Amino acid sequence: MDLKTYCPSKLMSAEDAVELIKRGSRVFIGTGCGEPQHLIRSLVENDQLQDIMIYQMLSHTLAEYVDNPSFLRRFSLKLFFISQDMRKAAFEGKIDYLPMYLSQIPRYFASQRIGLDVALVQVAPPDKFGYCSLGVSVDITRSGMENAKIVIAQVNPRMPRTWGDSFVHVDELDFLVWHEEPLVESVPNVKNNEVAQRIGFYVNQLVDDGATLQIGFGQLPYAILGHLQDKKDLGIHTQMITDGFIPLLEKRVISSKKKTLLPGRVVASLCMGSEKLYQYVDNNPVFYFRSSEFVNDPTVIARNDNLVSISSALEVDLTGQVCSDSTGYLFYSGIGDQVDFLRGSAMSKGGFSIIALPSTAQNGKVSRIVPHLSEGAGVATTRGDVNFIITEYGIAELQGKGIYQRVMELAQIAHPRFRDELIDVAKKRHYIFSDQLPPSSEDLHFLEAYKSMFLLPNGKTVEIRPLQPSDEFAYRNFFYSLREETIYFRFFYKMKLFSHEVVQKQWASVDYRKNMSLIGMVQKGGHKEIMAIGSYADDGDRAEVAFVVREDFQSMGVASHFLVKLEAIARENDYKGFTATVLKENAAMLKVFKRQYPDAKVSMSGGSDISVVMDFT
């Protein structure tokens, strides 16, 4: 469409367009990389404009002016999210932060709770039917445009045309400013460091093939994407598309074909990245851009089965409270989309949320797992919203767990240097038992190599991993699920109680080298429960080995599988073989040992006990 022919009266220069803005106006500006830079600069450079209130979500161009006293006298900035460019200004009190759920911002515009006089937006040139595209910024831009009294659009041939609910007809735009310029580029400075790699490793463990993902914006979420390249048929329903998605799309790791909502489409609200990304989304039908009241609505999010939300945080306290928008009293980012997606993923069939963060800040001087949030820190994500927390030291699962278990789970994934301190504080606050042993103060990342999966004849999958201090309640429940005979075969007497004190005595000797315990876990409903435990303990140049398998999983090869795994670990720790003491009535256990070690030496050790000595070949 030729704008000069169709609507010549709407075409004007940016200088003339901003002249239409009256003093005291409330002005909305399009989001992030889609913001109309030329219009913004013309707005600021017009000295006649006074007492202008500006609303924007992600602001870049205005960051060039916030240190100018003249600008601050004429303009008041109200931001729904504090971008990195605006962080210093936020710390200095030069902007006003509006803490709102992203899904609800359009409602404030529509209800006139936040009244708008003018909207400055950027669009791609119209097609032959007169439809422009909002391109990389649909999010709250569509609502801001629809609810403003005057809409001034910068028409930029460099703006991509995106599919979805991004189209706006020329008739809906009051004034047009033709100006070509590169879009704002924003690519996180991702460092390929060990912390990000280890966090990505743990996230990869939780994400299954066919899951639909939401990924937050920032260095860490961006880096995590690079650790999902071994997955198949991932789907995307997310607020923001970045360059990090391109390799997964090109390799068809992201196919979206198993999504239950809009299958085959990558659903998003805006785009922030490089020129390569903008060219990739341009007229690409795989992308489906919708406004924030759709993309971020928890009830819409929940229509995606197996929705996994991955976001980041600044700090997490021992009870599971999460701070993501401030460092103490200083506003750092914003509520954004985190709460919307956490709640949407919780309602999704098979869905869950992950909050990933490094264990420390300030070059390792400060723990991000803290006894309590910093004074002044905001809590947008409550204890009740949290599911998985991941640091470079592992995965803490908090959902459905009490404060005791949360403390132990989070202490295990804190930096080893801070674990004792966290446990001490938790004891003083009566979060945990006064005699609770702290998690090991060393880096136990090597234990990841001891994890495995085992398929049972009945079709169930057993997850095998080292026993952790936070497993105390699961361990206790396992013991009380066993029949008396099974307990007798394992402990050689009719043990009646498996108290906290008993567990603590066992933990006191666990070092994962000379003393090792593996547990087998199976899925039951929405959680996992222990169904077997295999252990060895130091016995000179050999290690004494023992097993207990729940009755409904016996005679399925579980003990034999554990024996193989424990031997591999024992060999790493320079043991030459195993020893075992077995009741003579326990023929099944003797059979397991003889099958694995045909040359085992079997002898009566007195009474009804049989001694078994097994050499590694």
Same domain? 97 vs 218: no
Please give the residue that has the higher pLDDT: either 484 or 289: 289
Residue 440 in this model has a pLDDT that exceeds 90:
no
Same domain? 172 vs 199: no
Rounded to 5°, the CA angle 518-524-528 comes to: 35
Residue 436 in any domain: the answer is no
For the segment 293-308, what is each residue's pLDDT rounded down to a tens digit? 999 999 999 999 999 9
**Backbone region of residue 55 per phi and psi (left: phi > 0; alpha: psi in -120 to 50; beta: other values):** beta
53, 430, 531 from 476: Cα distances, Å: 60, 21, 12
Same domain? 12 vs 76: yes
Residue 526 in any domain: the answer is yes
SS3 state at 416: helix
Same domain? 423 vs 497: no
For the segment 529-553, what is each residue's pLDDT rounded down to a tens digit? 999 999 999 999 999 999 999 999 9
Lowest mean pLDDT among 82-96, 97-111, 490-504: 490-504
CA 533/CA 517 separation, integer angstroms: 7
Residue 437 in any domain: the answer is no
Residue 493 in this model has a pLDDT that exceeds 60:
no
Same domain? 409 vs 342: yes
Return the residue matching tokens 């004494």: 544
Same domain? 222 vs 354: yes
Instruction: Read off the tokens for 287.
Output: 């992308």
Strands 148-155 and 116-123, by their bridges, are parallel
pLDDT value of residue 459: 82
Round to the nearest angstrom and report the end-to-end CA distance of the chain.
Answer: 81
- Domain final residue pick, 178, 212, 228: 178
Domain membership of residue 22 as a residue range: 3-178
104, 199, 398, 554 from 395: Cα distances, Å: 31, 9, 10, 29
Beta bridge partners of 56: 79
Residue 334 in any domain: the answer is yes
pLDDT value of residue 472: 83
Residue 566 in this model has a pLDDT that exceeds 70:
yes
SS3 state at 314: coil
Same domain? 120 vs 229: no
pLDDT value of residue 471: 85
Residue 212 in any domain: the answer is yes
Same domain? 347 vs 464: no
CATH of the domain at 134: 3.40.1080.10
pLDDT value of residue 243: 93
Residue 399 in any domain: the answer is yes
pTM above 0.85, yes or no: yes
Instruction: Read off the tokens for 71.
Output: 């600008």
For the segment 332-369, what is each residue's pLDDT rounded down to a tens digit? 888 888 899 999 999 999 999 999 999 999 999 999 99
Element (H, E) at 23: none
If pLDDT is split at 50, 70 and 90, which confidence band does 129 have? very high
DSSP assignment string, 460-522: -EEEEEE--GGGHHHHHHHHHHS-HHHHHHHHSS------HHHHHHHHHH--SSSSEEEEEEE
Smallest Cα–Cα separation from 432: which of 486, 500, 362, 364? 500
Same domain? 113 vs 10: yes
- Domain final residue pick, 111, 144, 178: 178
If pLDDT is split at 50, 70 and 90, which confidence band does 389 have? very high
Same domain? 471 vs 572: yes
Same domain? 19 vs 152: yes
- Provide the domain count of the chain: 3
Residue 186 in any domain: the answer is no
DSSP assignment string, 105-159: HHHHHHTTTT-EEEEEEEEBPP-TTSEEE-TTB-TTHHHHHHTEEEEEEEE-TTS
pLDDT value of residue 507: 64
Over residues 391-397, the mean pLDDT reads: 93
CATH of the domain at 467: 3.40.630.30
For the segment 468-487, what is each residue's pLDDT rounded down to a tens digit? 888 888 888 888 888 887 77
Please give the residue that has the higher pLDDT: either 371 or 190: 371
For the segment 512-530, what is each residue's pLDDT rounded down to a tens digit? 999 999 999 998 766 789 9
pLDDT value of residue 470: 83
Same domain? 359 vs 454: no
If pLDDT is split at 50, 70 and 90, which confidence band does 491 have? low
pLDDT value of residue 439: 83
Instruction: Read off the tokens for 526.
Output: 């929405």
**Burial call 34-70: b when 16+ CB within 10 Å, e when fewer:** bbbbbbbbbbbebeebeebbbbbbbbbbbbebbeeee
Instruction: Read off the tokens for 172.
Output: 């809906």
Phi, psi at 383, each rounded to 5°: -60, -35
CA 605/CA 611 separation, integer angstroms: 6
- Domain final residue pick, 115, 145, 178: 178
Amino acid identity, position 317: D
Residue 215 in any domain: the answer is yes
pLDDT value of residue 193: 84
Average per-residue pLDDT in the chain? 92
pLDDT value of residue 492: 47
For the segment 44-61, what is each residue's pLDDT rounded down to a tens digit? 999 999 999 999 999 999
Over residues 147-176, the mean pLDDT reads: 97
